[in-house]
Amino acid sequence: MKKSWKEGLFYLLLFAFCFAGGRLTAARQAVNASNMATGGKLAIVIDDFGYDGNGTEEMLALPIPFTAAVMPFSEFSVENAKKVEEAGKEVVLHMPMEALTGKAEWVGDKGVFRSMTDEEIKAVVQEAFTILPNAVGMNNHMGSAIMEDQRCLGDVLDVLKAQNGFFIDSVTTCNSQGRCLAEEKGVPFIARDVFLDGTSDVEKVKQNLRKAAEIALKKGKAVAIGHVGPEGGEVTAKAIAELIPEFEEEGITFVTASELIEE
């Protein structure tokens, strides 16, 4: 009887130990799963390729995926697009569009303007894709006037849909019709969350990058737009390069714009 009692106590303690161990293991697995679930995806879009501007080589040397927005009607459009592809980055059209403010020459002589007919708008967008046939999507260069105009923007999106492309709204106006028109026409769409540069201060660019990272960690994804040339260039490339280790440690995954859309 005494031996039976001791055996019963032994098995009871063994059961309790195993049960507690199982609970602890499950808790650890839950924490690990939670840690794996944290993080976010950051798509960096770099505008103004096509001019062979300051920072072009530095940007293409970055060891992360990003999306390069190439001006289609510039002197180095084809050459820069080839460099982008050779560097393993993604190419989209950086389509010049009429703006409500700023100098007309900033848009350029060729682009999308409200004075154009539907046929003229579609023809110039198709020409842009002919110049950069490997572009998988588009974002707007300037374009606040066009982004507010349903007729003009609708023509642009019609061509983009025929090309099986996606649209990145640079959000140059708070009255953009991009999202609603893209949904109506069935064009994949994402919008910019943060502008990175327009400054020569590396620390300011880093501050903006960290804002984008915070959004990515909070919402799961974010889009940040920077530039080559005078708006960013080497400064922006330097800021990105220096923050890569920090972001990866925080759980940020660098992706292309198309990868965000494909989710």
Q: How many helices (H) does the chain have, and how many strands (E)?
A: 11, 9
Contacts made by residues 245-252, CB under 8 angstroms, sequence distance 24+: 247/42, 247/209, 247/213, 250/39, 250/213, 250/217, 251/38, 251/39, 251/40, 251/217, 252/39, 252/40, 252/41, 252/42, 252/213, 252/216, 252/217
Residues 145 and 251 in one domain: yes
Residues 64 and 180 in one domain: yes
Return the pLDDT at 26. 46
Residues 106 and 234 in one domain: yes
Residues 103 and 162 in one domain: yes
**How much is the pTM?**
0.85
> Are residues 256 and 44 in contact, defined by beta-carbon separation less than 8 angstroms?
no
Residues 10 and 59 in one domain: no
Residues 31 and 120 in one domain: no
CA angle 125/126/129 to nearest 5° reads 90
Provide the domain count of the chain: 2
Residues 6 and 116 in one domain: no
Residues 2 and 126 in one domain: no
Residues 150 and 139 in one domain: yes
- pLDDT tens digits, residue range 150-172? 999 999 999 999 999 999 999 99
Residues 51 and 16 in one domain: no
Residues 85 and 212 in one domain: yes
Print the domain residue range for 15. 1-37
- pLDDT tens digits, residue range 90-104? 999 999 999 999 877
- Regions of the chain with pLDDT less than 50: 1-3, 9-37
Return the pLDDT at 13. 47
Return the pLDDT at 5. 52
Q: Count of CB atoms within 10 A of residue 238's CB?
A: 16
- pLDDT tens digits, residue range 194-233? 999 999 999 999 999 999 999 999 999 999 999 999 999 9
Return the pLDDT at 109. 87
Residues 120 and 151 in one domain: yes
Q: Count of CB atoms within 10 A of residue 86's CB?
A: 9
CATH code for the domain in which residue 248 is found: 3.20.20.370
